[in-house]
Structure 1
Amino acid sequence: MIDDTPQVNRRRLLAGSGVLGSAAVSFWALDRSRRPGENDNMAGRLFFSSPDGKVTISLAATDSGVSCTVDYEGHTVVEDGLIGLRSSGTVGGGDLRVNRIRRVTDNWESIWGANRNHNITSTEVDLTVDADRQPYRLVFRIATSGVGFRYLSLSDTDNRVVAKEQTSLRLADPVQAWYPNRLGTRIKNQSDLSEIEAASTPLTVALGQENKSLFLTLHEARLVNAGCFRAEGVNDTTVSLIHPVESQQTLPTPWRVLLFGSEPGDLLDSDFLLSLNDVPKDDFSWVSPGRAFWDWRCRGYVADDERFSLSADSLRSLIDAANRHGIEYVTVDAGWYGNERDPDADPRGPDLEIDLPSLVEYARDRDVRLIAYLNDLAFRTYGIEPILETLVDWDIAGVKHGFVDGDSRETVDFVHELLDATAQHELLYVPHEAYKPTGVRRTYPHLLSREYVQSLGDGPANSHAPPGYFTMVPFVNMIGGPLDATPGFFDLHNATERDTIGGAIQSTIVGQLARCVVVHTGISHFPDHPDVYESHPILFDFLKNLPPVGWDQSLVCDGEIGEHVCIARRSGQEWFVGALTNENAREQRIELDFLEPNRRYKARLYQDGDNAHYRHNQIASESTRMKVHRGDTLDVEMQPGGGFAAHLLTDHM
């Protein structure tokens, strides 16, 4: 719902303030020298706030661009940042003119996701920057949990090339920053912003010397017709936005987004970034998220002198296990159409290593559907439409798109071409080795996940993410959306014997359960062989009970970036809890205040064994049952690199 205010011009703004629907949107005129408690350097600024007044921005025109200051709950988070565009032959400065102010209320229900229902109300401010010769529009959205802004042209026919975006944000008292590499497989942290070089985002920053009192994430939303921006440290308090040289930027740009919170979990709990993406254009009622057995990490597993391999017999055994345990999908990874890096390997056939059409029929008879892996090279060699038409003829359920690589505009455009085509053919889509998620899954609900994370078992020996990595992921990589991290591996002592695992997996077995809750995804790839799961029936029950259709509600119970995290998720009347620690043992108190009042719950708890450790004795675990109510607390002990998991159901007895 959108409430429009009348058009207002600069002269009218000098009168003072305006009212938007039932909520006041405050602004102070250019000729008002100060607000209460402000000094003279606030003269000549425009002020706008979120509908609830928690977030305020102030803007002023300067010779080099638009000066922007952002306050969150009375604390300055961005101080005299500079935003604006520089087109060819055009300087960045210019006067500001307010075109329109309106309140935007965005309510929607997701087909699947971390939360079912969403409600974001924001103030939208539409301005014109009268830059020399080439004016442009600057549009802000200001909500309780963040600020977004983007650059637009004055007319639909103006698709100018932007020579330079001069967005530079001076943060107030930054203490520490965390950011991923381009593929999300590593997370760096810096106490000096000047050390940041061409960092991918989300970039999460702790502000305030005392107890890291505020948190901010810099990211982007609605990444369409553009390459990914990166963050570059200018000095110890300032970051600027830069773009890959090969990425031509045109108008409109994606949204540049700042999320705010008093705790790290506030950043993840916010739906603001998701709301800045377009609503779906088509009917996506056919989309069915779920769980999948996955052949890639099973390869090399040996039982009863039988070695699991890329073969029809091995894959049929995986399909049989999926049917036996009610798992919706089986994902067939690389090699089924030959060497994925060979341009002569045609996934349409006829010379296939695996007769995939026959496997589809075998799976269909057992109520299981197949997801097929395809390397980026195949799509670029044989074309998107010819390949997808073949997969549809075979009745494949979805596509895992490997080695997307790159974050240029060309790569983003190619992925969007695939998003449109897979949507048209009603195929699920999961890109790997992909650029960052930016909330575009709202527009394309069949985009179930992406590998902007260190996937379990990838990489050379001893390079895998340590336990502390997964206590950072929720507050960095996952801010943009679901991640295909493929946790849930049980055979931790023998992982390196598999053909496709490069080194030891640094986790306890309960930590693997917890990661399946903490790391959100629309397709839960269970990476181990069914025999291993069946040898741990109590632990496997937890995985099988994970809801295939997504979550109704998610919340961060507690978390400290790089130290520990606890997340609770609800499906119907069932709750799942996952908690992780870094390389240190930790006692965690979990308050069950998220449960419904006046209900009793049956809880199944999964904890690390007394001597469990992520490098040795990884399998040691304990499982207990108890009855709990709202207001109870769970005091749990997590061993080094371990975790805690719980499944809570309403007790009707």
Structure 2
Amino acid sequence: MKKLAFLLLPFVLFSCSDHFSTSLKSPKGAVQVKVFENTDGHLAYSMNFKGQPVLLESTLGMELRDHGFVGTDLKLVGVDSTGSKKTWRPLWGEDGVIIDDFRSYVFHFQRPADQLLVDVHFKLYEEGIGFRYEFPQQEGLSEVIIDDERSEFQLTGDHQTWWIPADYDSYEYLYQSHKISEIDSSLVDGSLLAATTIMEKHAVNTPLTMKSEDGLYISIHEANLTDYAGMTLRIEEDKRTLTSSLVPSKLNGWKAKVQAPFHTPWRTIQVGEKAGDLVESKLIVNLNEPNQLENTDWIKPGKYIGIWWEMHLQTSAWDYASGKHGATTAKAKKYIDFAARNGFDGVLVEGWNTGWERWIGFPDREGVFDFVTPYPDYDIREVVAYGKQKGVEIIMHHETSAAPRTYEQQLDTAYALMKDLGIHAVKTGYVGPIIPEGEYHHGQWMVNHYRKVLKKAAESEVMVFAHEPIKATGIRRTYPNMMAREGLRGSEFNSPWGYGNPPEHLTIVPFTRMLGGPIDYTPGIFKLDMNEYKEGAYVPTTLAYQLAEYVVVYSPVQMASDLIEHYEGQAAFQFIKDVPTDWDGSVVVDGEIGEYIVMARLEKGGHDWYLGGLTNENARELTIELDFLQAGVTYEAQIYQDAADADFETNQAAYEITQKTVKLGDELTLKMARGGGVAIRFKAL
């Protein structure tokens, strides 16, 4: 990197009033950014993509408690400019190789009034940008209280959006689709809310995905959320400007407290000409630091089953006192036997430890859970030993009931137990409002808690599947033991008492929530008619749709989440047994947000491709080109698809399996029923 005085930069222009204006470009020029001081003396930027405006004049700045607003009356004292093009190989992921190609610009400012130094860092990629604020080491700046951030994103029009409200505690909402001007949290059905701490009437969570009238697909999010509060977006009165807003600590009266020097997370804008361009972008992970773990031999993608769904069906319970405790030694062994017979890597056991009698609905939940003491009918050491004999790993479960201080007090003993038992995976949970009152799931205090747990897990060689998490922002690159997060309405909402996720849900999620990172969605429900549990209840998808979820909704750790007896005798179960969870390549074959999506992925270290297609409440027939297959290879397409009379409301379980020989360049017609799907293994011959 070279340091350049601004007077020597040919792209820095001046007016007679010393206002500056700088034009930046991505390596190949697809993205252009203008950074300038506007006529009000406010630091601002704008953004174009392939000649089309993406963001109009948008101001930048932060509100610091002891230093006031930082974003006006700043003097540019220098710029660093550099470029880089590298490739790196993730330990696991959607692609075997990732290209990190960007142009970086760091603007160094000083505020003459008090000599405060602040930098603004832009990274330009061909598919978007990231920017962040940086406060270098300097006199008079040590502990900094941040009262808010005011990064603007001024849109070019009244874009169509896919959004969820800015709840401080939960992302578990169905995505709404409205124009920016129509967004209003009162449109969200209150009966479906997992939490009710909506920030304000006209505010949304990220990733926020939009489509402009010019046909551009745009997503605003953040990357590398570390020691900071989560960002939401406030919709201003003009209905065209979005402004960053940080989740507060009501307990402490600030948005964040940091130590200088520090930098904020990256604020990201991804752009594409097709909806699939957003999914294929690697901007979010590229804006995170490289892997910090030295030994990663214990980090292994895979598939698992578990004692879980029966609790949601209410045929078993998490707590021992109910008399129908699910997590017994005998049942765990039964699941281990099934996993061993069918090639599954692990078994999740929920409800194994004491404390479940007082976890939901009790105001004082601190000190309730014990993360090392099993119930009397569960011998954890016997179960783990039995699993090892069968080649099956046990996945630990830590539900905190949103009492993180209790969890932190037991981190050492809980993870020491896992290390002693040789357990390398844990599912964590944070159901309920956070204790202490005044802190939120998405605020800085909990962001730091989640990271503390992740680091402790890494020290103990444990992978994490986080539920009720902070949103994914690409940290999986830095800590590859962060395998998957919930952070959305998962498959559990399809239980008889869960209101149901409509078929369109997973035609939106890949273009919104999945842009942040892998999802622990828990797919694979085969018994879709649930009338025996509750009259009229059913899972609102077809069985072929359930299979396609394994390809469409990415996770390196996928669950076959139904009761194991519901898989017996089902020929379609073969696809779940075959489909990998780690990939060398991923492409969006076709898709429109909220309508349908077709994904294809290449198995890690092999030649087989897998395809998943999902449609919304409308039946659909698509003809696709098999241009992703390898040249010179013949494939047997093993096709799992909806039967002719399948329907997500009236005939969910109807499917058929066919075979067809195909090669690169062939066309294939996909037929999907209402709320249906298609899953294909292209087996290299």
TM-score by length of 1: 0.90
Alignment of 1:515-530 (within 5 A): 515-530=549-564
- What's 1:364 paired with? 388
Alignment of 1:199-278 (within 5 A): 199-208=204-213, 210=214, 213-234=215-236, 235-246=238-249, 247-250=255-258, 251-278=262-289
Q: Is the 8 A contact 1:227 1:249 kept in 2?
A: no
- What's 2:568 paired with? 534
- What's 1:475 paired with? 511
- What's 1:100 paired with? 80
Q: Is the 8 A contact 1:495 1:505 kept in 2?
A: no
CA deviation string 1:570-625 (max 9, x = no partner)? 11211010010000111112211011112211110111111111112101011110
Alignment of 1:559-578 (within 5 A): 559-571=591-603, 572-578=606-612
1:294 to 294, 303, 306: 306
- What's 1:188 paired with? 176
Alignment partners' CA distance in 1, 2:42 and 2:508: 35
Matched, 1:170 2:187: no
Q: Structure 1 vs Structure 2: percent identity of aligned residues?
A: 28
Q: Is the 8 A contact 1:176 1:192 kept in 2?
A: yes
- What's 1:315 paired with? 332
Q: Compute the displacement of 1:244 (Å).
A: 1.8
Q: Compute the displacement of 1:129 (Å).
A: 2.7
- What's 2:35 paired with? 59
Alignment partners' CA distance in 2, 1:495 and 1:100: 64
Q: In structure 2, what residue type is equivalent to 1:45?
A: S
Alignment of 1:1-400 (within 5 A): 4=1, 6-13=2-9, 16=10, 27-30=11-14, 44-62=20-38, 63=40, 65-88=42-65, 89-91=67-69, 92-93=71-72, 94-131=74-111, 132-133=113-114, 134-155=116-137, 158-181=142-165, 182=167, 183-186=170-173, 187-193=175-181, 195=183, 197-208=202-213, 210=214, 213-234=215-236, 235-246=238-249, 247-250=255-258, 251-283=262-294, 284-299=296-311, 309-339=326-356, 341=359, 343-349=367-373, 352-377=376-401, 380-381=405-406, 382-400=409-427
Q: Is the 8 A contact 1:32 1:44 kept in 2?
A: no
Q: Is the 8 A contact 1:510 1:643 kept in 2?
A: yes
Query: Mean alpha-carbon deviation: is it higher for 310-319 or for 142-151?
Result: 310-319
2:562 alignment partner, SS class: coil
Alignment partners' CA distance in 2, 1:363 and 1:65: 62
TM-score by length of 2: 0.86
Q: Compute the displacement of 1:352 (Å).
A: 4.9
Q: Compute the displacement of 1:397 (Å).
A: 2.4
- What's 1:543 paired with? 576
Alignment partners' CA distance in 1, 2:524 and 2:568: 13
Q: Compute the displacement of 1:393 (Å).
A: 1.5
Alignment partners' CA distance in 1, 2:132 and 2:143: 14
Q: In structure 1, what residue type is equivalent to 2:598?
A: C
2:478 to 427, 443, 461: 443
Q: Is the 8 A contact 2:369 2:400 kept in 1?
A: no
Alignment partners' CA distance in 1, 2:137 and 2:182: 38
Return closer, same or farther for 1:314/1:639 CA change in 2, 3 Å cut-off: same
Alignment partners' CA distance in 2, 1:503 and 1:74: 51
CA deviation string 1:350-401 (max 9, x = no partner)? 6555221211011111000001111124763242112111122222221100
Q: Compute the displacement of 1:308 (Å).
A: 9.4
Query: Mean alpha-carbon deviation: is it higher for 482-491 or for 128-137?
Result: 128-137
Alignment partners' CA distance in 2, 1:30 and 1:391: 62
Q: Is the 8 A contact 1:70 1:76 kept in 2?
A: yes
Alignment partners' CA distance in 1, 2:537 and 2:75: 58
Q: In structure 2, what residue type is equivalent to 1:127?
A: F
Alignment partners' CA distance in 2, 1:379 and 1:365: 34
Alignment partners' CA distance in 2, 1:90 and 1:379: 33
Q: In structure 2, what residue type is equivalent to 1:530?
A: I
Q: Compute the displacement of 1:503 (Å).
A: 5.1
Return closer, same or farther for 1:327/1:495 CA change in 2, 3 Å cut-off: farther
Alignment partners' CA distance in 1, 2:265 and 2:314: 45
Return closer, same or farther for 1:353/1:451 CA change in 2, 3 Å cut-off: farther
Q: Is the 8 A contact 2:542 2:675 kept in 1?
A: yes
Q: Compute the displacement of 1:190 (Å).
A: 2.1
Alignment partners' CA distance in 1, 2:498 and 2:81: 54
Q: Is the 8 A contact 1:566 1:578 kept in 2?
A: yes
Q: Is the 8 A contact 1:578 1:645 kept in 2?
A: yes
Q: In structure 1, what residue type is equivalent to 2:208?
A: L
- What's 2:252 paired with? none
CA deviation string 1:162-218 (max 9, x = no partner)? 33321111111242111234433221222034635231110011112x5xx101110
Query: Mean alpha-carbon deviation: is it higher for 414-423 or for 275-284?
Result: 275-284
Indicate the RMSD between aligned Cα atoms, in angstroms. Answer: 2.5
Q: In structure 1, what residue type is equivalent to 2:674?
A: P
Return closer, same or farther for 1:193/1:114 CA change in 2, 3 Å cut-off: farther
Alignment partners' CA distance in 2, 1:636 and 1:351: 49
- What's 1:37 paired with? none
Q: 5+ unaligned residues in a row in structure 1: which ranges? A: 17-26, 34-42
Number of matched pairs? 617
Alignment partners' CA distance in 1, 2:149 and 2:171: 24
1:473 alignment partner, SS class: helix
Alignment partners' CA distance in 2, 1:445 and 1:337: 30
Query: Mean alpha-carbon deviation: is it higher for 347-356 or for 325-334?
Result: 347-356
Q: Is the 8 A contact 2:525 2:562 kept in 1?
A: yes
2:124 alignment partner, SS class: strand
Alignment partners' CA distance in 1, 2:619 and 2:413: 53
Alignment of 1:445-524 (within 5 A): 445-458=480-493, 461=497, 463-494=499-530, 497=533, 504-524=538-558
Return closer, same or farther for 1:495/1:603 CA change in 2, 3 Å cut-off: farther
Q: Compute the displacement of 1:8 (Å).
A: 1.1
Q: Compute the displacement of 1:238 (Å).
A: 1.0
